[in-house]
Amino acid sequence: MINELFEGLKVDTKRCAKCKQDLPLYMFGKASGGNYLRGECKKCGREICKSREKAKAVASAVPTNHICPICLREEGAVKDRGGKKSGTWCCDHNHVSEKFRGWLCHDCNRGIGNLGEDIARFQRAIEYLTNENR
């Protein structure tokens, strides 16, 4: 394991959000803008990229006049939300099965990812928002 190579050395590390290993900082790429390191290590990042490309390969093109099925915003309202290089729409896919689900805006795609694609967490979030005037 990579950690054993650095045992006893003073090396700054970070835990990969995907593989959950504590790894040296050089094993993490810079996030967009280059101000901080990505949450996943470079190896896991490559796996994520392969998964995304596999989903895109079977996906149909983004429909004309597409709106995000979650927030219902149109292209003009979501353009550049993922950064200038990202394009307007995200290829949403199941990270386990790698199955294409649809085209989402970057905000909604991140929201799903931030809640770990966990339906129970979404239900608790709905319950929390529903009961905000307790």
Q: Where are the domains of the chain?
A: 10-58, 60-134
Average pLDDT over every residue of 101-106: 92
> Which of 93, 81, 90 minimizes the C-alpha distance to 62?
90
Cα 46 to Cα 68: distance, rounded to the nearest angstrom: 27
Cα 121 to Cα 126: distance, rounded to the nearest angstrom: 9
Cα 37 to Cα 24: distance, rounded to the nearest angstrom: 11
DSSP letter (8 states) at residue 74: B
Q: Is the dihedral of CA 36, 38, 41, 46 positive or negative?
A: negative
10-58 domain in CATH 3.10.450?
Answer: no
60-134 domain in CATH 3.40.1800.10?
Answer: yes
Q: Which band of pLDDT confidence, cut at 50, 70 and 90, is reported for residue 1? A: low
The model scores a pTM over 0.85: no
The yes-or-no answer to whether 10-58 and 60-134 have a common fold is no
Q: What is the pLDDT of residue 123?
A: 95
